Structure 1
C-alpha cells in the first residue's frame, strides 16, 4: 500500500531528523573592542555599569556581545568573563548579540581573537559593576562596604543580603569610573574564580536545537523577493557581451534579470535573476543565456600560480622582510634546503552565501551572516553610492564562517539588485555559485634553508614564503609595516614562520603572489598563515632531525631555550619556552613516543609543535599523529591524533574542547581529504561530490588534554588546525620512509616518494 502524507518539511526538520543521533551523542558542533566606557548609572530601565551589560530589576543580567556566533559559543565565553568578575549567578545571565551601532566599537570576529581581546575589557567591566553594586548594597543594608561581599548576584553582609535586582530597582548604584580607574582595577586572584575553567552549558545551544535561532538564510521581511546570481567565468575582468532571458521568462514566478553596474568594482560581468521564490530564481538563472568576454584569468590555473610562486621564492631580494636577526653563520657544518607547497583550499561553510537587503524609507538595511560588519558597511555604501551612515547592518547566527564571511562582498550584488527592483531582495547562492565566487586559501610555495653547527644546533634559518595576500586584497589599510620599514606585509600570510626555536641568525621574507591575486580573491581560511607556515617549518625541522640522526621530539626540545624574544613577555606569552616544552613533554609521554619502533610495519608516529595563532597570542600545542600506510596503494589511515594544548585560562572549557576538536578535524581534512586546484580561472571542484572533506568513517580517535593554569586566555578557534598536517606528514615518513612536502597528501605522492 502506497500512503502519501502531506508534511511541511523544513531545512531544520530535515537536519533534526537525520542529525538527532549526532546531537544526542555530543557532536554539537579578532575581536577588537572599544575601551569600556565609564559607568552610566541606574534607573527604571535597570542598572548599566557599562554598555557591555545591564542589571535589570527582575534580576536578569543582559550581556551585550559584539561578536558573531558561528558555532564557537562566543557569547557564552564572553558572558562568563563578565559574570566571573561581577560575581553573578550564571543562571541569571542572558546574552544579546548587538547591532552595528558605532558605540560598540570596531566589529570583527576572527583570528581567534574574541576571548583573548575581550578578556581585560569585559573582566574589568564586570569588576567595576561588582565594586559599584557592593557600595550601593552596603548603603541599603546600612553597613560599610568593607563588611560586604558579592556572591551569586547578591551583596551580602553576614546573614543579610540585597540582590542585584533590588539594587537596580532602587537606583542606588551611581558610581562613575574614569577610563584610568577601569584600567587600574585589579581583577580577582585566580584562587577566587568560581566560573572560569569550569564546564557549563552554552547559552546558544537550546535555540539551535529547537529551531528558534535565526541564521542569515532564515530571515524574511514583507514584500521580499528572491534572487540568484549568474556568476561570470572569472572573478576579475569578465564583460558581458550579450544576454537573453527568453527561456527564463517561461519559469513560473520569474520576475526579471538585473544586469549589475557596480561602482565598488566587486561585480564584474554579473547578472542576477529575480523571482517570487528561490527555486524559480535558481531555475531562471540557469536558463539565462549569456555571452562573455572573459577576463585574463580565464586561461590561468593552479600550475601557473605555483610556478610563479617558485620563481618568486628563488628571486633574490623579492618581497618584504618579516623578521631579521643576527648574521649568517660562516662555514656551518650542515646546510639543508627544503621546498614546501600547499594548494588551494575552500571554506565551504554549510550555510551558503546569502544576504537580504531593503530600503526602509530611511536607510538601507542589510541582514547577512557576517564576521566583519565594520568593513561590509562602507563596501555596500560605495556600491550604492550613499553615505555609510545610510547603511544599517544586522547580523544573525552564522551557519559556518571559517574565514569566508570576513569579507562579505556577496552583499554588494544583493544591495544593487534591491536598488534595481525597488523592493527587498534576498540573494542566495547555490553551492556551485558559492564555490565559483570563493575566497580560497591561496596556494603557497615556501623555501626554508637552515644551517647547523658541529653539535647539530640550529644556527641559521632563511625562509621565503610566497602566497596571495588576503589582507592586501580585502582590507589593505590593515597591512603592517615590514620589519625594516620598507614596504608593507600581510601578517595573515606569514605568521608562524618566525620560530620559537632559538636560532641566532634568521632572515624571513614574505612575498605577494600577484598572479594568484589576479585569478581569485585570496581569503582567510581557518588558521590562515600558520596553516601553511607551520606545515613548512615543522616538516623541515623533522627533516633536519632525521638528517642529524636525532630523535625528532628530543631534537625539538633541545632547540627551545627561551632566549631573546623567545623568552616571551607579559601578559600573553609568559614562561614561553617552559610552556612549549611542557606540552611537548606531555604529548611524548601520553603517546609512548619512545616505544614507536615497536609499532607494526607500515605504522608510525609523527610529531609537530606550534605556538599559534600569533606570537602576541600564542596557544602552545603539541600533536602526535599515529598513522598506517599501505605501501602498495599509498593510502593513509590516521589511527589516532593526540594533542596537548596550553591556552591559559579557559572561559568556557566545553567550548574550548569543541574548538580544538573541530580544528584538528579540519587539519586532518585539508591534509588528506580536501583541497582543489584552479583551472581556467575557477576551482576545479565546485560541490561536495568532488570536493571531499573528511567523512565520519575517516575520523580517528582523538585525545585532547588542556594544561590547567591561570595564565591569560589566548585563542582557540584556529590553533587546533596547525599541527595536524605536519604531524601526519612526519608520521608517514616514520611509517614507511616517504617524505612528502606538498599538501594535500595524495596516495600517488606517497608512491612517488617511496620510489625515489
Structure 2
C-alpha cells in the first residue's frame, strides 16, 4: 500500500444493467496496473508484512505472512462506508479475522471490470463476486492448513483467521508463510463454488467496526482535494455564461497580473466538447488563482441559452407533454390505453412539477493532473472512472492506455461525481502547460457547474369503471436526461421505437395494478442544451414517485376510499407485478408488506389535533429488476398563518433483502430520509439567465438540524438477495409529507419543494 503523491513524500436495459453494460461498452481503456495512489487506510501500515509471500487466489484480496487480509475495493468511498460493507462479504466467506482486514482503494485497470459507484448497485453487484472469492480463499486455506496440521481437510473448519481441527489450529499468516498457496481461480472457477448458507454467516448482518472511520476521525484519510505533487500549479476556471454555447473571443488579464503568484490565463481547446468556453486561470497558489480569476476579464460569444429561465424550461416541458407523439413509451404490459380511457366512467388528472436540485456535496469538485513517462495521471475522487476515461481520451488526443485515474476518498458524491467532467479541464491545462496542475472549484463555481437534478413536469391520469376500479393509467414525465448528456450509449429503445433515458423515468413503471398503463419518457431538449443534467441520489424516482404517490392519494380521495386500503388493493402481484427470482421474489406483495408495517407502526387512522395529518408514501426504490421495497409515514403540523410545515415524525420500513452492514444500512436510510425531507420542503433552485440562481448556502437552504424530526426506522428480517440502500428511502418522504399536508388541511400541493408561500397561496384559494 502506497501513500498518495505528496510534496514531501441486453435489448431492454434496467438502470442497473445499464450501469454495467454501458460501462463495459465505453471502457475500452487498457494499461498496466499502476501502484495505488490512495488507499482507504493511512500508510505505512505497521501490521502489514513488507515483501514476503502473499496468498492471492483472486484479484480481489490477498493475505500476507502476518495474516493481514487486504481487500481490493473498486467502488468509490464517499461517506457511505462501502468498503466496510463489501469487505464484510468477502471476509465472512473467507472466515477472516476482522481486526486484521484492510481496505485498498484501487486505480483504474480493466481487470476490475466497470468502475462505477451509483444506483445503489455496489453491494448487489459485488455480493456474488466477493462471496465466491472469499469461498475460494477459505477452501484453499483449509486444504493447505490441513496438510500442515497433518489431518484431512474434511476434519478442518476455518474460524476467525485460523484453520482448526480437533483442538489444534494454525493461523492464516503461518499457512501463507509455510504452505503452497500458488493456486489461482478465474471467473469460471469462482462461479462453481458453493458459498455459505445464511445461518453460517459470522459478519454479514452482525454489528462490526467500520474500517474507514478511524482514519477519517483522526484526519489521516486522504481526499482528492488533498492530492499534491512537487512543482504543481493551481487553477481556478473562469466559467462562461452558458454550459455549452459559449466561445472565448478575448482574454484581458491586465488586472490579474498584479496578483502575486499569478502565472497566466489560457482558453481551453477541448475536442470532447465537455468544457467549451472555459478559461483556466493559473497561479502558483490557490489563493492567488482565486483572486486572479475574479480580475480576469473574458469576452464570449454566447448562444440563446444564456437567457434561459426556469419559466422557459417549464413552459417548454408543458408543450412537450401536450404532444401525444412526444417521447418514448415504456413496456408496461401492453393494451390500448386510449381505448380504456374512452370506456372509463370517470377519471382524474393532475400535473406535478419539481425544481432543479443541486448536489452541494461538502468537497467541491477538483482534480490534479500531470504527465509522467508518457502517461497522463488524473488524481481525483470519482464515482465512474469507466464513464470519463473515454472522454479524457478524446479531449487529450491520447490513447486510453496512456491515461490513468488514481483513486481518492470523496467528500460527498451523491451522483455528482458520476460525471467526471471536472477532470477534463485539469488534464487539458496540464497538457498545455507541461506541468502538474491542480484545479479546485470554489463553492459558487461548483454550484454553477453542477450537473443538477433536472427540473421536471409530469402529468398523470387514472380512469375508473362504474365500480370505481382503475381501468387505465397514463403517466408522462419531461426532464433533462443525464444519460443522454454523459453516456448516450445507455439510452434504451421504447416500445414505439424512440430512445429514452432509464434514469429519467424509473419509478413510474410501478408495481400497482391500475389496469392498462402507459408510461411516457420525454426529453426536455431545452434543458438538455442549457445545462448538464445529472444523476442525483435516487435520480428519477425522486420526482416520479413524488408525482405517483401523491396522485395515488388524490385518486383514492376522489372515489372516497382510504389511501392505505386503496394502495393495498392494487398490490395484486398479478402479471408483470408477480416478481421473479433472484432479485424480486414476492413481487408487489413485499411492497404491500412494508406499507402495512409502517402504517401500523405510525398508527394509521388515529385521531390527530387540528391542522395535523398523517400521510403515506411507498416505493420499490428505483429498478424493477432490483427492487428495494420502502414505505414511509409522515406526521406533520401546518401553521395556517405562516404556511410553515413542521414534520413531527417520520416512520420508515425497508425490505432490502439480506442486510450486510446493519449500522451502515441505518446510516444510509437516515441520510436518504434527510435528503428526502430536504427536497420536500427546503431544497431547490430556479434558473435565471442560463444559470442556477442559487450558488451558496445563504440562498440555497437544505434542511437544518433544528428542522430534523424524530425517525423510526425498521428493516424487514430477510435472507433474500441483498439490495441497494443508499437511495430508495429518499423517494418516499416527499409524497408522504405532501399527503400528510392534505390530510391536515385539505389542500393538495403539486410542486417541490413545498415552500410556506405555496401553502399560504393554496390556503387562500380554497
TM-score bin, normalised by smaller chain: over 0.9
1:543 aligns with 2:551: no
1:271 aligns with 2:279: yes
For 1:231 and 1:284, locate their aligned partners in 2 and report how far apart those are by CA, in whole Å. 13
1:348 aligns with 2:356: no
Counterparts of 1:238-317 in structure 2 under 5 Å? 238-317=246-325
- The equivalent of 1:500 in structure 2 is 511
Structure 1 residue 463, shift from structure 2 partner: 1.2
Q: Secondary structure at the match of 1:273?
A: strand
Q: Secondary structure at the match of 2:195?
A: coil
User: Conserved in 1, the CA contact under 8 Å of 2:235 and 2:438?
Assistant: yes
- The equivalent of 1:173 in structure 2 is 181
Moved more, 175-184 or 363-372: 175-184
Structure 1 residue 455, shift from structure 2 partner: 3.6
For 2:584 and 2:68, locate their aligned partners in 1 and report how far apart those are by CA, in whole Å. 36
Moved more, 738-747 or 134-143: 134-143
User: Conserved in 1, the CA contact under 8 Å of 2:328 and 2:493?
Assistant: no
Structure 1 residue 47, shift from structure 2 partner: 0.7
For 2:194 and 2:470, locate their aligned partners in 1 and report how far apart those are by CA, in whole Å. 42
Structure 1 residue 241, shift from structure 2 partner: 2.4
Structure 1 residue 31, shift from structure 2 partner: 7.1
Q: Secondary structure at the match of 2:674?
A: helix
Q: Secondary structure at the match of 1:380?
A: helix
For 2:225 and 2:414, locate their aligned partners in 1 and report how far apart those are by CA, in whole Å. 17
Structure 1 residue 289, shift from structure 2 partner: 1.4
Structure 1 residue 254, shift from structure 2 partner: 0.9
- The equivalent of 2:105 in structure 1 is 97
- The equivalent of 1:594 in structure 2 is 605
For 1:323 and 1:436, locate their aligned partners in 2 and report how far apart those are by CA, in whole Å. 37
Aligned residue pairs total 716
Instruction: Assess, with a 3 A threshold, how the Cα gap between structure 1 residues 384 and 179 changes in structure 2: closer, same or farther.
Output: closer
Counterparts of 1:602-681 in structure 2 under 5 Å? 602-681=611-690
User: Conserved in 2, the CA contact under 8 Å of 1:450 and 1:458?
Assistant: yes
Q: Secondary structure at the match of 2:619?
A: strand
Q: Secondary structure at the match of 2:652?
A: strand
**Which residue, out of 701, 713, 719, partners 1:704?**
713
Structure 1 residue 174, shift from structure 2 partner: 4.2
Structure 1 residue 172, shift from structure 2 partner: 2.3
Cα deviation, 1:695-715, whole Å, max 9, x if unaligned, reads 111111111111111111101
1:50 aligns with 2:58: yes
User: Conserved in 2, the CA contact under 8 Å of 1:323 and 1:509?
Assistant: no
Q: Secondary structure at the match of 2:352?
A: strand
User: Conserved in 2, the CA contact under 8 Å of 1:238 and 1:292?
Assistant: yes
Structure 1 residue 512, shift from structure 2 partner: 0.8
**Which residue, out of 499, 516, 528, partners 2:539?**
528
Structure 1 residue 182, shift from structure 2 partner: 2.1
For 2:203 and 2:586, locate their aligned partners in 1 and report how far apart those are by CA, in whole Å. 25
- The equivalent of 2:237 in structure 1 is 229
Structure 1 residue 44, shift from structure 2 partner: 4.6
User: Conserved in 1, the CA contact under 8 Å of 2:356 and 2:686?
Assistant: yes
1:685 aligns with 2:694: yes
Structure 1 residue 445, shift from structure 2 partner: 1.0
For 2:92 and 2:657, locate their aligned partners in 1 and report how far apart those are by CA, in whole Å. 16
Q: Secondary structure at the match of 2:711?
A: strand
1:113 aligns with 2:87: no
Q: Secondary structure at the match of 1:710?
A: coil
Structure 1 residue 578, shift from structure 2 partner: 2.6
- The equivalent of 2:729 in structure 1 is 720
For 1:45 and 1:480, locate their aligned partners in 2 and report how far apart those are by CA, in whole Å. 48
Q: Secondary structure at the match of 2:706?
A: helix
User: Conserved in 2, the CA contact under 8 Å of 1:572 and 1:616?
Assistant: yes
**Which residue, out of 370, 375, 394, partners 2:387?**
375
- The equivalent of 1:134 in structure 2 is 142
Structure 1 residue 177, shift from structure 2 partner: 4.3
Counterparts of 1:75-474 in structure 2 under 5 Å? 75-177=83-185, 179-324=187-332, 325-328=334-337, 329=340, 331-474=343-486
- The equivalent of 1:37 in structure 2 is none
Cα deviation, 1:82-112, whole Å, max 9, x if unaligned, reads 0111122211211101111221111011110
**Unaligned regions of 5+ residues in structure 1, if any?**
1-29, 35-42
Cα deviation, 1:33-80, whole Å, max 9, x if unaligned, reads 99xxxxxxxx95311121000011111111000011000000000000
Cα deviation, 1:508-535, whole Å, max 9, x if unaligned, reads 1111111110110100011101100101
- The equivalent of 1:744 in structure 2 is 753
User: Conserved in 2, the CA contact under 8 Å of 1:502 and 1:560?
Assistant: yes
Structure 1 residue 176, shift from structure 2 partner: 4.7
User: Conserved in 2, the CA contact under 8 Å of 1:31 and 1:118?
Assistant: no
1:481 aligns with 2:493: yes
TM-score, normalised with respect to structure 2: 0.91
User: Conserved in 2, the CA contact under 8 Å of 1:604 and 1:735?
Assistant: yes
User: Conserved in 2, the CA contact under 8 Å of 1:560 and 1:581?
Assistant: yes
Structure 1 residue 242, shift from structure 2 partner: 2.0
User: Conserved in 2, the CA contact under 8 Å of 1:112 and 1:613?
Assistant: no
Q: Secondary structure at the match of 1:593?
A: coil
Structure 1 residue 668, shift from structure 2 partner: 0.7
For 1:503 and 1:50, locate their aligned partners in 2 and report how far apart those are by CA, in whole Å. 48
- The equivalent of 1:490 in structure 2 is 501
- The equivalent of 1:555 in structure 2 is 566
Instruction: Assess, with a 3 A threshold, how the Cα gap between structure 1 residues 31 and 137 changes in structure 2: closer, same or farther.
Output: farther
- The equivalent of 2:581 in structure 1 is 570
Structure 1 residue 671, shift from structure 2 partner: 1.0
For 2:157 and 2:466, locate their aligned partners in 1 and report how far apart those are by CA, in whole Å. 63
Q: CA RMSD in A?
A: 1.5
For 2:410 and 2:305, locate their aligned partners in 1 and report how far apart those are by CA, in whole Å. 31
Structure 1 residue 481, shift from structure 2 partner: 2.4
